[in-house]
Homo-oligomer: A and B are copies of this chain.
Amino acid sequence: MSDWTRDFAILDALDEASRTQLLAHSHAMQAPAGTVLFREGSPCQAYLFLLQGQIRVQKVGENGREITLYRVESGQTCIVTTACLMSGNDYDAEGVAETAIHAQALPIPAFRQLLADSASFRDFVFRAYGSRIADLLLLIEEVSFGRIDQRLAACLLQRARGQAALSTTHQELAAELGSAREVISRQLKEFERRGWIRLGRGQLQLLDAGALQQLAGK
């Protein structure tokens, strides 16, 4: 088995024949961090597996505001790509590499063939759909009914991943949540006033993760 397949969970689930088929017909591709992989309106030619790295999929409004829809991580696939593929429409979101990425592209005919041949591949594809749709529904709920302070608190905790500090700008946080930079700045200032965090240029420290947790969880 070649090197890149190590992190590629789906391969374990596939039978030998399907695996061979997959490897034979797909080709490797890679891109540096910051690459725009696809944008709204561009067509879509291949089914994409992400082998290594992270992709942010986002919507960009006319006024320039952004919101992150979800992230594609190692071993996952991008359902917006798949959705376009199957329905024949163009992309209606934008994908940006957050890190350098290695991916494997499976052209449409080979994709269809594999779908036909392998039950485990079908399962993988459908499971991906299912969990993404759940993500999107949750996002709609948060955007429609959620409070920005709670969403921000959750966002900070998630980004910190247990670390006490994280490097990010207010603008990035705003783009994550689909809000405006000024709003985030004010909320963060309020968090700092309460002693939950300490602000610095391009970075911030979590002083009281518990308080954030409580706010986020409410």
**Interface of A with B (CB < 8 Å)?**
59, 61-63, 65, 67, 69, 79-80, 82-89, 92-93, 112, 115-116, 119, 122-123, 126-127, 129-134, 136-141, 143-145, 178
**Which of B119, B133, B137, B145 touches A62 (beta carbons < 8 Å)?**
B145
Given contacts A87-B131, A119-B112, A129-B86, contact A137 B61 (CB under 8 A): no
Residues of B within 8 A of A92 (CB): 134, 137-138
Q: Report the separation of the CA atoms of residues A84 and B137 in the bound assembly, to the nearest whole angstrom.
A: 12
Q: Report the separation of the CA atoms of residues A69 and B93 in the bound assembly, to the nearest whole angstrom.
A: 18
A21 to chain B, nearest CB (A): 16
Q: Report the separation of the CA atoms of residues A130 and B80 in the bound assembly, to the nearest whole angstrom.
A: 8
Q: Report the separation of the CA atoms of residues A101 and B175 in the bound assembly, to the nearest whole angstrom.
A: 42
Contact: A141 with B59, CB < 8 Å? yes
Contact: A123 with B86, CB < 8 Å? yes
A72 to chain B, nearest CB (A): 14
Chain A interface SS verdict (over half): helix
Q: Report the separation of the CA atoms of residues A88 and B123 in the bound assembly, to the nearest whole angstrom.
A: 11
Q: Report the separation of the CA atoms of residues A132 and B115 in the bound assembly, to the nearest whole angstrom.
A: 20
* Of A112, A139, A145, most B-chain CB atoms within 10 Å: A145
Residues of B within 8 A of A122 (CB): 115-116, 122
Contact: A144 with B86, CB < 8 Å? no
Contact: A67 with B116, CB < 8 Å? no
Name the CB-closest residue of B to A93. Answer: B137
Q: List 16 A-B contacts (CB under 8 A).
A: A59-B141, A59-B144, A63-B145, A69-B137, A80-B133, A82-B130, A83-B129, A84-B130, A116-B119, A122-B122, A129-B129, A133-B136, A136-B140, A139-B140, A143-B144, A144-B178
